[in-house]
Chain A
Amino acid sequence: MKNILLKTEELSKLYNSEYALKNINISVYKNDRIALIGPNGAGKSTFIKLLLNLDTPDSGNIIKYFNAKISYAPEESSLYPDIPVAYFLNWIKKVKNINQNRLNEFIKLFELNNVLTKKIKILSKGYRRRILLLYALIGNENFIILDEPSDGLDIEFKFKLRDILKQKIKNKTLLICSHESVILNEVVNRIIILNRGEKIFDDSISKLKNKNKRLYIEDIYERFKNK
């Protein structure tokens, strides 16, 4: 109990009389690095919505044990299309109460220097993703939820994201919705699999790996397809 950050008890959500989530019991511990995976309609987005308090469960509870300050980067967002990147980053600095040095460090880290004066709406999906990730990772929050963080990023930046998550985001709890093998193999230490609203696996990632082999989402789906 000592290191528990957040716990869900029999969490259920119905949409049109069908379970989007059914009796989900999950405990999130401090410094957990969790991958939340599952096919379309598994209930991942619903689970995140409930964690973020954007929706209310039909039954069950979400219990916080510490000041779980959540930061979140959604799967898709065009952010504030009309404002320039630099203004938005300045605004993040004020909102998240961080200093200029940290902001400069993250601008460099996410390679945003050459787009600072541009409006967000003219940026590519990859750049918008970088801004979203910067937004989620720069603050002092202790629980970070990333929904498909590598979506839209080029191969080079996917590796960079891996390095950022491994080296720069320490002592924080991560919950990542991703099927990316780089994330699964090198960033997370625990995996939760949802299917048709039910939790079908929740354990250390090593339990899924064959000796020293890389883990691929196709292998996981193959293994759990009948569950």
Chain B
Amino acid sequence: MNDLKTNKIYLIAEKELYENLCKKTFIGIMLFLILYAGYLNFLSMEIFTGLSAETELSPQLIMSADPNQGILAPLFSNLFIVILLIFPVIISTSISAEKNNNTFSMLKLIFNDTTIIIGKFIAYFILALSLFLITFLLLIPYILHNGFIDRYYILNVFFGFIIITSVWILLSLLISAITPLSLSFYTIMLFNISILLISFISDIVNFKPLKLLNNILPYSFYDYILKGIFDLKLYTAYSITGVFLFLMLKSVLSKKKYIVLYTILYILSIFIINLIDIKKDVTFNKINSLSSNAINVLNKIKDKDVKVILYIKEDGPKWQTAVDLINTFRLNFKNIKFIFLEPDENIEYGLIKFKYKNRTAKTLSVDEDIFVKNIFFVATGKKLSMEFKKKQIGKPFKFTYNGKILYLLWTFFIVLSILYGRKLIIKGGIKL
């Protein structure tokens, strides 16, 4: 109704942030999560000490002995779970409580819908970003000791975190806007449980639509991110989802009926985005890629469509090792097609056939070296004598007794700083 509504987004953001900081339950949950992350990091560093002490790493150990996978992934995985499970619960009452308290009608007289949405979004985004920063601060003892951190891996985690967080905040705000206060919490919980169940069931039940659905859920996205893979398709799809949710939220608040139009446009854009197939291994150790020797060799046969048939049952023995290995091929070589077939009575379980035109080769080993040699052989008819293995880069990590004491002190220092900072902010806010 008012023409002269203010667009001071920061006023909404400031109020929302301050309100959350004043809630004892909110700060209690946050501190618990930070301490839990600290404990998890402590545990990872201890396990990693043992793993990195191994001088000769078996291929199966390479993933877990990689500093990204051993130290960073568990810690940031905890952060993603907080964002996906706990954050929506905190945001669930943001709009519904305002509607219930009639403060929303007061806000709407002063601020336009876009300002309210963006203001609230920024407040929760700042809170999420603070959690990211705190998680990063927990890593400082590790960085100081190790003298190195995989910056591209961290950057990928950071951007993935930004995208997933943005989408999840907007989704939570949308649920908060369309449900009454008494139902917002339960709706969010039901939603959380549903996607957890999809993720869980799709792992144990071989049902294609469920697996496809699981692939677009954020658990798969952050799994990619934590492995150190930049997947442009997922980044684009989630960015578009964020824009779609923002428009839906705006429609709901302003009671405009563009919901059907936005949904059609969204589904269409997702179909187009599905055509994108650009993935990059951003890890320093190139843990998700083939060794550089293998890449050089396979680049020479990029124009030859080699077929690899694996007689391995889904979720059976060798399945996961085979999938992990195949993913490293798929990242760079689209010309090599992998087919899984159910083994029958005449074929030995675990047999792998390599085929190009009339030439074939067979093996029972799921190993990069053997795969590359066989693929090259069927494509060219030539045998290779060099070895194709990934090397572990980085010095051994040791989490000493003194290091542990320092780490504990550092974690408590972070927690105390948060408590003191909160006190200062609350005190500053009541000065007239």
Is the Cβ of A119 less than 8 Å from the Cβ of B109? no
Scan B76-115; emit 1 where CB is below 8 A from any A CB, else 0.
Answer: 0000000000000000000000000111011011100000
Is the Cβ of B102 less than 8 Å from the Cβ of A82? no
CA–CA, A95 to B116, complex, Å? 13
Q: Say yes or no: is B23 at the interface (Cβ < 8 Å to chain A).
A: yes
Residue of chain B at shortest CB distance from A64:
B1
A118 to chain B, nearest CB (A): 10
Q: In B1-54, which residues have CB < 8 Å from any A CB?
A: 1-4, 6, 8, 11, 14-15, 18-19, 22-23
Is the Cβ of B108 less than 8 Å from the Cβ of A52? yes
Is the Cβ of A79 less than 8 Å from the Cβ of B109? no
Is the Cβ of A87 less than 8 Å from the Cβ of B18? yes
Is the Cβ of B3 less than 8 Å from the Cβ of A67? yes
CA–CA, A75 to B429, complex, Å? 27
Q: Please name all residues of chain A whose beta carbon is closer than 8 Å to the beta carbon of B108 when the two chains form the complex.
A: 52-54
Is the Cβ of B101 less than 8 Å from the Cβ of A95? no
Is the Cβ of A86 less than 8 Å from the Cβ of B109? no
Q: Please name all residues of chain A whose beta carbon is closer than 8 Å to the beta carbon of B386 when the two chains form the complex.
A: none
Known: A78-B101, A83-B22. A69 touches B4 (CB 8 A): yes
Among B6, B23, B101, B430, residue most surrounded by chain A Cβ atoms (within 10 Å) = B430
Q: In A68-94, which residues have CB < 8 Å from any B CB?
A: 68-72, 74-84, 86-87, 89-91, 94
CA–CA, A56 to B1, complex, Å? 12
Q: Say yes or no: is A205 at the interface (Cβ < 8 Å to chain B).
A: no
Residue of chain B at shortest CB distance from A118:
B430
Q: Say yes or no: is A51 at the interface (Cβ < 8 Å to chain B).
A: yes
Number of A residues with CB within 8 Å of any CB on chain B:
43
Is the Cβ of A116 less than 8 Å from the Cβ of B4? no
Is the Cβ of A80 less than 8 Å from the Cβ of B103? yes
Residue of chain B at shortest CB distance from A75:
B102
Q: Say yes or no: is B144 at the interface (Cβ < 8 Å to chain A).
A: no
Q: Say yes or no: is B431 at the interface (Cβ < 8 Å to chain A).
A: yes
Which listed residue, A69, A74, A83, touches B106 by the CB 8 Å rule? Answer: A74
Q: Please name all residues of chain B whose beta carbon is closer than 8 Å to the beta carbon of A89 when the two chains form the complex.
A: 432
Q: Please name all residues of chain B whose beta carbon is closer than 8 Å to the beta carbon of A135 when the two chains form the complex.
A: 106
CA–CA, A123 to B18, complex, Å? 19
A18 to chain B, nearest CB (A): 21
Is the Cβ of B1 less than 8 Å from the Cβ of A53? yes
Q: Say yes or no: is A59 at the interface (Cβ < 8 Å to chain B).
A: no
A149 to chain B, nearest CB (A): 14
CA–CA, A81 to B24, complex, Å? 12
Q: Say yes or no: is A206 at the interface (Cβ < 8 Å to chain B).
A: no
A90 to chain B, nearest CB (A): 6
Residue of chain A at shortest CB distance from B12:
A95
Q: Say yes or no: is B255 at the interface (Cβ < 8 Å to chain A).
A: yes
Q: Please name all residues of chain A whose beta carbon is closer than 8 Å to the beta carbon of B431 when the two chains form the complex.
A: 86, 90
CA–CA, A81 to B19, complex, Å? 9
Q: Please name all residues of chain B whose beta carbon is closer than 8 Å to the beta carbon of A54 when the two chains form the complex.
A: 105, 108
CA–CA, A104 to B255, complex, Å? 38
Is the Cβ of B6 less than 8 Å from the Cβ of A52? no
Known: A76-B102, A95-B110. A84 touches B11 (CB 8 A): no
Q: Say yes or no: is A117 at the interface (Cβ < 8 Å to chain B).
A: yes
Among B1, B18, B101, B108, residue most surrounded by chain A Cβ atoms (within 10 Å) = B1
Q: Please name all residues of chain B whose beta carbon is closer than 8 Å to the beta carbon of A84 when the two chains form the complex.
A: 22, 426, 429-430
Q: In A112-138, which residues have CB < 8 Å from any B CB?
A: 116-117, 119, 135
Q: Please name all residues of chain A whose beta carbon is closer than 8 Å to the beta carbon of B255 when the two chains form the complex.
A: 56
CA–CA, A31 to B430, complex, Å? 35
Q: Please name all residues of chain B whose beta carbon is closer than 8 Å to the beta carbon of A53 when the two chains form the complex.
A: 1, 108
Residue of chain A at shortest CB distance from B428:
A87
Q: In B240-279, which residues have CB < 8 Å from any A CB?
A: 255
Is the Cβ of A72 less than 8 Å from the Cβ of B105? yes
Q: Please name all residues of chain A whose beta carbon is closer than 8 Å to the beta carbon of B105 when the two chains form the complex.
A: 49, 52, 54, 72, 74
Scan A53-68; emit 1 where CB is below 8 A from any B CB, else 0.
Answer: 1101000001010011
B26 to chain A, nearest CB (A): 9
Q: Please name all residues of chain B whose beta carbon is closer than 8 Å to the beta carbon of A64 when the two chains form the complex.
A: 1, 3
Residue of chain B at shortest CB distance from A135:
B106
Which listed residue, B6, B14, B22, B426, touches A91 by the CB 8 Å rule? Answer: B14
Is the Cβ of B19 less than 8 Å from the Cβ of A77? no
Which listed residue, B1, B103, B106, B429, touches A90 by the CB 8 Å rule? Answer: B429
Q: In B376-410, which residues have CB < 8 Å from any A CB?
A: none
Q: Please name all residues of chain B whose beta carbon is closer than 8 Å to the beta carbon of A90 when the two chains form the complex.
A: 429-432
Is the Cβ of A86 less than 8 Å from the Cβ of B103? no
Is the Cβ of A68 less than 8 Å from the Cβ of B22? no
Residue of chain A at shortest CB distance from B255:
A56
Q: Please name all residues of chain B whose beta carbon is closer than 8 Å to the beta carbon of A119 when the two chains form the complex.
A: 22
CA–CA, A91 to B111, complex, Å? 14
CA–CA, A64 to B1, complex, Å? 8
Residue of chain B at shortest CB distance from A90:
B432
Which listed residue, B2, B101, B430, touches A68 by the CB 8 Å rule? Answer: B2
Known: A53-B108, A90-B429. A67 touches B4 (CB 8 A): yes
Is the Cβ of A70 less than 8 Å from the Cβ of B6? no
CA–CA, A135 to B107, complex, Å? 11
Is the Cβ of B432 less than 8 Å from the Cβ of A86? yes
The 4 A-B residue pairs with the shortest CB-CB distance, nearest first, are: A74-B102, A86-B430, A77-B102, A87-B429
Question: What are 24 of the A-B contact pairs (CB < 8 Å)?
Answer: A51-B1, A52-B109, A54-B105, A54-B108, A69-B4, A70-B1, A74-B102, A74-B106, A77-B101, A78-B101, A81-B101, A82-B22, A83-B19, A83-B22, A83-B429, A86-B432, A87-B430, A90-B432, A91-B14, A91-B15, A94-B8, A96-B110, A97-B6, A117-B430
Given contacts A82-B22, A87-B430, 16 further A-B contacts (CB under 8 A): A64-B3, A68-B1, A69-B4, A70-B2, A72-B109, A77-B106, A78-B101, A80-B19, A81-B101, A82-B23, A83-B18, A84-B22, A86-B431, A95-B11, A117-B430, A119-B22
